[in-house]
């Protein structure tokens, strides 16, 4: 997504949330380069479910190399005739690509001042794009940091109904090794987000 303004001041906990969204966006947009794999491998676990999942992701990164993860990414999301998974909201919600969920997302993007990045060919309802948009809405990358109510409304409209299912599918995908751990981290993180948003008035 294309930035329109500088990142606004956000609370520490929201900045941490934004970093999780950004990590998921990066890992779902393209195979991670060696430097990112090294940074992920250095993550330390903690006793929480999310911390434990991050520890599993770190171990998966240690056991992976960029070429192997690139092959895995190809098999999962691209393939010769299509990948094992189809990471689009329209697909999960309607069974077809570029349907009403994409149109609704584009309407909200225009309203919120979110512009598609030049040269990007993927429809905006790709999983990576939605994680990236949420990161920007939290930090104010596009216009201003959104309130929790506004974040909740965007999340409920464009992620909550399908993204957990996609991440669950990623966890059990036949081609997934490193990405199984990615799916686990994303799934637990979104469980936390869903529960937190449910308490927002």
Backbone angles phi, psi at 2, to 5 degrees: -100, 130
Q: Tell whether 77 is covered by a domain.
A: no
Q: Tell whether 56 is covered by a domain.
A: no
Q: Tell whether 127 is covered by a domain.
A: yes
Q: Tell whether 81 is covered by a domain.
A: no
Q: Tell whether 118 is covered by a domain.
A: yes
Q: H or E segment at 201? A: none
Q: Tell whether 66 is covered by a domain.
A: no
Q: Tell whether 160 is covered by a domain.
A: yes
Burial of 105 (0-12, 13-18, 19+ CB in 10 A): buried
Give buried/exposed letters for 125-150 (b at 16+ CB in 10 A, else e): bbbbbbbbbbbbbbbbbbeebbeeee
Q: Between 100-112 and 127-139, two packed helices, what is the crossing angle to 10 degrees?
A: 20
Q: Tell whether 128 is covered by a domain.
A: yes
Q: Does residue 112 register a pLDDT over 70?
A: yes
C-alpha distance across the termini of the chain, in Å: 29
Q: Name the pLDDT band for 79 (thresholds 50, 70, 90).
A: confident
Q: What is the CATH number of the domain that holds 177?
A: 1.10.3480.10
Domain count for the chain, please give it. Answer: 1
Q: What domain range includes position 123? A: 12-29+86-198
Mean pLDDT of 61-78: 98
Q: What is the per-residue pLDDT across 139-183, written as a single tens digit (0 to 9) for each? A: 999 888 999 999 999 999 999 999 999 999 999 999 999 999 999
In degrees to the nearest 10, what's the CA dihedral of 155, 73, 22, 39?
150
**Contact by Cβ (8 Å): 14, 190:** no
């Amino acid at each position: 997504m294309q930035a329109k303004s500088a990142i606004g001041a956000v609370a520490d906990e929201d900045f941490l949330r934004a970093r999780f969204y950004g990590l998921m966006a990066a890992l779902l947009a393209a195979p991670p380069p060696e430097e990112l794999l090294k940074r992920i491998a250095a993550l330390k676990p903690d006793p929480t479910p999310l911390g434990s999942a991050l520890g599993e992701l770190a171990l998966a990164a240690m056991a992976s190399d960029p070429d192997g993860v690139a092959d895995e990414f190809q098999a999962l999301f691209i393939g010769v005739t299509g990948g094992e998974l189809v990471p689009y909201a329209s697909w999960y919600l309607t069974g077809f690509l570029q349907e009403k969920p994409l149109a609704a997302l584009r309407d909200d993007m225009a309203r919120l001042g979110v512009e598609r990045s030049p040269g990007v060919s993927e429809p905006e309802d790709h999983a990576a794009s939605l994680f990236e948009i949420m990161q920007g809405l939290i930090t104010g990358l596009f216009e201003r940091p959104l309130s929790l109510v506004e974040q909740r409304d965007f999340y409920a409209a464009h992620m909550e109904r399908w993204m957990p299912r996609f991440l669950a599918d990623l966890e059990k995908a036949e081609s997934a090794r490193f990405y199984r751990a990615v799916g686990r981290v994303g799934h637990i993180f979104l469980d936390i987000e869903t529960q937190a948003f449910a308490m927002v008035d």
